[in-house]
Structure 1
Amino acid sequence: MMGKKDGGKTSQDIKKTTSDSSTEAPKLVVAKPNEAEDKPYQVCKSIGDFPGHCRHIRYCLINEFRTNYTLVSYYNCPIEDKYVGVCCPDDRDTRPKTVAVKPLKSDEESEAEEARILASNTNRVDPIKRPSPLGPAGKNRGCGVAAIEGAEAPKGNGGVSDPGEYPWMAAIVNAKDDEQFCGGVVLDQSHVLTAAHCLIRKRQADIAVVLGEYDLTKPDETRSQKFKVVSIRRHERFDMHTYENDIAIFTLDRPAVFNTYVWPVCLPEPSDMKNMVNKTAVVTGWGTMSYGGPAATVLMEVGIPLWSNSECQKRYSQPILKTAVCAGGYEGGKDSCQGDSGGPLMIQRQDGRWANIGVVSYGIKCGAPMQPGVYTKVTEYLDWIQKNV
């Protein structure tokens, strides 16, 4: 990751702050049937900005959530800082095409329904207006909202990120020695999005995924979670010579525990990509600080402008397809680099949520002036992602 050092703030300062903290991050899990009470918890804004209360998911299986699993992640909320809930509308009768909650036939069926909703966090574009977050740690926290204040706005100049600022960041490491070689993002409790080229010359057993990571030299600093990979879905038309369709999904060996340091990113909508040329996106990773240079030990971030594909094409001899998006600093010095592959290119929406619009794919060296990097355009693969999670 290339970018200027954060003025006045060092990685040592941040690491000390984190390690000295005595506040334990809440670990949110799905309540078992005998733990889930059918009652309202804290007030929140639900679908269409209707007033609602946080409830256990089993007691809010309304049509919108059954038919569009993405909505569940947008309206996740914590219950007693222990369980994952959903912001359920108070008055279902005032909204069209919504049915009252009906109990399922058995606890087993109810658990299966909850698991299906939580594990199937696919992106289907919904026409319903999303809520404005109540703040980084708001009680209606959903995808793309960090519990850390620093994530409200990108620094842009590049440098060291804050612990927990990008809780959807995944470190792809060698299973044997934990050496980081690629990045990725959390889609839901069981799936991580990354680049297909990260799998070249790698066997499934060689790969592990670490979530909640920040400082690679201090594995337990943010209570990170390490996973084996039980399934790999590499795009069937990935071309290792051109890096076309450079996208893949890992399935983890167990559900991740969502907390301050582990949380899903939002997938983008096609409308997120309109009029984006010259707008700033943010890249994060543990990649090298310069081409062929040393890798970062703490998670870095940098803001870079998005390019039009036509301008990007002038810098490359190979075709820049509609399935790609380009980004990079015009003056140089700001770019993703070796080791950042598979990581996210992100924008922050008007509603405050972060969406992953690109997957770090390839480029010519790193940080050269007027030489953008090329990223897999996530909006072109929403159907593929939906089919593979």
Structure 2
Amino acid sequence: MKTKLLSHVCVLAITMGSASVAQEFGGAGTDPVMASPFRFAESQKKAERAKDIAAEDSGSKVIGGTVSADGAWPWQVALVVGGYPLQPDIQFCGGSLVLDRWVLTAAHCIHMADDEGTYRDIDPSRFNIVVGTNHLAHGNGDMVPVEAVFRHPGYVGTEFDNDIALIKLARAPGVQYQTITVPDAEFGDYLEQPGVTTYVTGWGLIEGAQNPDRLREVQIQMMERDMCNGLLLEARAEEAVKGFGYAAEVFGMDVATAEQAWSEFVQHVPEPMTPNMICSGTYEGGKTSCQGDSGGPLVVPLDDGSFIQAGVVSWGLSAENGKTCAEDALFSAYTRTANYVDWLNGTISRNN
């Protein structure tokens, strides 16, 4: 990435509109309640924010998705706060059934900071898994208790790498459902070629921060990780260069020295999307996952009509107001499931 200190081109304004570089779906935050999907739903702030945003942005369009047909995506499950009748406000993440009693989701969905900032896994007794329905309404589907949670050992709450986890159900669901498979590394390479069609599904926030009661889907496509990293780094540099330029001025640096220092600095900046992540979206923007979609599946259709799960919804860009995801974002980041087949198989075999 070539970036000049004093004549930086605002790529962000052209390609991402009002998107900021905040990572919206998981990770650390100054407010533990806002940083954790579970605590956000449990605290009732999810419903409160929906009302606030709806009042500000009424009349806007949905973020690129459509309502899924009943029975579509039968591996999709909802993670919900325990102790309440089924309704959209208690849903905090998505997931997918990979075996009869095993759900694949994002690590940030089941690992959160307490009031002191210490990260811990959620006690299994505090949430349930809803299986067998696309409509989050009382009496629908099967609300299955959770027996245990297994977070990838490489995941830490302050970062997004290795954002993957397994949930073991206390029993097999008592409704109709299907499981979905994940690809091995070689097949994953094939699936992740730019332009490959993907679908992401979930009950995440739609435009206006409304909490939908029906599962939604959107068709997007694989995008090059290098391109997505370049756009993200440009966006971050646009903010960082302001402070750097001020510091250079305060210290009386000449332009050539400041530009050399900036160039050396950006060479050490880590790429936001690691090889454990997939980039998927659209070049025109406006089709993306949002809060509440975290942990849900990114699937690829195969020639025989079946689907395979290439990714897990992990993180994306927030709007400038910080209250919802960026409607015009070109892409979101997904955990690359093909990198974790050995961990998934080993965890399940040791804990069956």
- TM-score, structure 1 normalization: 0.56
Q: With a CA cutoff of 8 Å and minimum separation of 6, indicate the structure with the bigger relative contact order.
A: 2
Q: Does 1:159 align with 2:159?
A: no
Q: Distance in 2 between matches of 1:315 and 1:372?
A: 10
SS in 2 for 1:227: strand
Cα deviation, residue 280, structure 1: 1.7
Partner of 1:105: none
Q: Does 1:170 align with 2:77?
A: yes
Query: Residue 197 of structure 2 contacts residue 301 of structure 2 at CA under 8 Å; is this kept in 1?
Result: no
Task: Call closer, same or farther: CA 1:367–1:159 in 2, change over 3 Å.
Answer: farther
Q: Distance in 1 between matches of 2:139 and 2:310?
A: 28
Partner of 1:227: 144
Partner of 2:298: 345
Q: Does 1:377 align with 2:336?
A: yes
Query: Residue 189 of structure 1 contacts residue 257 of structure 1 at CA under 8 Å; is this kept in 2?
Result: no
Which of 193, 200, 210 is the aligned partner of 2:130?
210
Partner of 1:15: none
The runs of 5 or more residues in structure 2 that have no matched partner are 1-63, 113-121, 234-270, 319-324
Q: Distance in 2 between matches of 1:170 and 1:342?
A: 10
Task: Call closer, same or farther: CA 1:354–1:367 in 2, change over 3 Å.
Answer: farther
Q: Distance in 1 between matches of 2:344 and 2:337?
A: 9
Q: Deviations over 1:139-170 (max 9, x none)?
A: xxxxxxxxxxxxxxxxxx73000011110001
Partner of 1:264: 179
Task: Call closer, same or farther: CA 1:302–1:367 in 2, change over 3 Å.
Answer: farther
Higher deviation after alignment, 199-208 or 340-349: 199-208
Q: Distance in 2 between matches of 1:307 and 1:368?
A: 18
Which of 97, 102, 107 is the aligned partner of 1:186?
97
Partner of 2:222: 306
Cα deviation, residue 197, structure 1: 0.1
Q: Distance in 2 between matches of 1:258 and 1:351?
A: 25
Q: Deviations over 1:225-272 (max 9, x none)?
A: 11111111000110222211000000000122462xx11012223324
Cα deviation, residue 368, structure 1: 4.5
Task: Call closer, same or farther: CA 1:244–1:352 in 2, change over 3 Å.
Answer: same
Query: Residue 364 of structure 1 contacts residue 371 of structure 1 at CA under 8 Å; is this kept in 2?
Result: no
SS in 2 for 1:214: coil
Q: Distance in 2 between matches of 1:367 and 1:263?
A: 32
Q: Distance in 2 between matches of 1:162 and 1:328?
A: 22
Matches within 5 A, 1:62-81: none
Cα deviation, residue 319, structure 1: 2.9
Partner of 2:259: none
Which of 199, 206, 210 is the aligned partner of 1:282?
199
Q: Distance in 2 between matches of 1:333 and 1:369?
A: 4
CA RMSD of aligned residues (A): 1.7
Q: Which amino acid aligns with 2:275?
A: K
Q: Does 1:328 align with 2:281?
A: yes
Query: Residue 330 of structure 1 contacts residue 369 of structure 1 at CA under 8 Å; is this kept in 2?
Result: no
Partner of 1:113: none
SS in 2 for 1:388: helix
Q: Deviations over 1:47-88 (max 9, x none)?
A: xxxxxxxxxxxxxxxxxxxxxxxxxxxxxxxxxxxxxxxxxx
Query: Residue 189 of structure 1 contacts residue 258 of structure 1 at CA under 8 Å; is this kept in 2?
Result: no
Q: Which amino acid aligns with 2:215?
A: L
Partner of 2:232: 316
The runs of 5 or more residues in structure 1 that have no matched partner are 1-156
Identity between Structure 1 and Structure 2 (%): 33
Partner of 2:210: 294
Q: Which amino acid aligns with 1:215?
A: H
Q: Does 1:196 align with 2:111?
A: no
Counting matched residue pairs gives 227
Q: Which amino acid aligns with 1:233?
A: F
Cα deviation, residue 379, structure 1: 0.2
Cα deviation, residue 372, structure 1: 1.2
Partner of 2:251: none
Query: Residue 173 of structure 1 contacts residue 180 of structure 1 at CA under 8 Å; is this kept in 2?
Result: yes
Q: Distance in 1 between matches of 2:139 and 2:280?
A: 31
